[in-house]
Amino acid sequence: GKVVLLPNLLLVTALSVPARSPSVRSEVFRITPGLHRRCVSLRRDTGVRSDPMDRMKLLDWFLHQTGMDPNEPSAPEPPRRVPVVTINMPAAALIMNGQKTIHHCAANIFDGITGTVALHVGFEDDQDEEIREILKTWGLDEKAIEEAFRLPSGYSRGQIVGTVEVGETFNRTEQHLNSQPMQRLVCSSPEKMGEYLTPMMGARFLKGGGMPAYGKESYDDTETLWHIDLDVHLLPDEAPRE
């Protein structure tokens, strides 16, 4: 069959008859997790029943919206496999909002990993009073701090909310512990700063909201990052923030 690429949906259609024909057995062989949100809108706007695998209605809707010819499909861009790290609040929001550019861990979970990593927001809250004091010391007022601690509407706990560019992990030293600029970058007091420090910059939010996913509950010396196949169409078009 032919491969038809439509937003957040990849379909295989038969060669012999037009895709709109009821006799075509259109098969959805991969639906990205982000399609769940789209299906909610579909049911509200077009009356598609609750089953997201109502293939013909989904196909007709996407063809109508995009004006694409199913007999002249574009070459699909494959999903990108990326590591995922689970980070609790408020650190996750601070990273995504560009206020925290070095992440600290007790275990070297980023050993040998650099480049694009997806950020999954955990369900737990870490203590934030010391972080607030650090940010105040460096000139942020209460309003700016509250904004830095929040995720935008559509992004929440239990979701992959975006990606960051990860640099090489390095070991914490006594000099780092005593450096106020380092405490600001890590958003941590010396007493709580982990042994391994990893640069995280260029945060980008996924298009259309967060993607629900299950992450690891905790890290120890034996655990590694998990991985997902990330639909490249969920990534924003603009360049990462520096």
Residue 137 is assigned to a structural domain of this protein: yes
State percent of the chain over pLDDT 90. 49
Per-residue confidence (pLDDT) for residue 193, from 0 to 100: 94
Per-residue confidence (pLDDT) for residue 25, from 0 to 100: 28
Pair 186, 230 in one domain: yes
**Whether pLDDT at 11 is above 50:** no
CATH number assigned to the domain comprising residue 206 = 2.30.130.30
**Whether pLDDT at 13 is above 70:** no
Whether this prediction's pTM lies above 0.85 is answered by no
Host H or E run for residue 85:
strand 80-89
**Whether pLDDT at 36 is above 80:** no
Residue 89 is assigned to a structural domain of this protein: yes
**Cross-strand pairs, 228:** 82
Please tell me the distance from the alpha carbon of residue 172 to that of residue 107, in angstroms, as a whole number: 12
Domain count, the chain: 2
Please tell me the distance from the alpha carbon of residue 228 to that of residue 84, in angstroms, as a whole number: 7
Residue 242 is assigned to a structural domain of this protein: no
Pair 107, 198 in one domain: yes
Most confident of the following: 20-24, 31-35, 42-46, 128-132: 128-132
Pair 117, 159 in one domain: yes
Domain housing 25: 2-66
Pair 54, 160 in one domain: no
Please tell me whether residue 131 adopts helix, strand or coil conformation.
helix
> What is the rounded average pLDDT of the residues 96-110?
95
pLDDT band at 226 (very low <50, low <70, confident <90, very high): confident
> What is the rounded average pLDDT of the residues 135-146?
94
Task: Give Cα separations from 240 to 68, 98, 121 (angstroms).
Answer: 30, 10, 19
Per-residue confidence (pLDDT) for residue 24, from 0 to 100: 30
**Whether pLDDT at 146 is above 90:** yes
State percent of the chain over pLDDT 70. 61
**Do 59 and 11 contact (CB within 8 A), yes or no?**
yes
Pair 148, 29 in one domain: no
Task: Give the strand pairing for 196-205 and 9-13.
Answer: unpaired
Pair 27, 132 in one domain: no
Per-residue confidence (pLDDT) for residue 16, from 0 to 100: 32
Residue 71 is assigned to a structural domain of this protein: no
Pair 195, 110 in one domain: yes
Pair 24, 102 in one domain: no
Pair 24, 86 in one domain: no
Pair 132, 31 in one domain: no
Most confident of the following: 18-32, 58-72, 111-125: 111-125
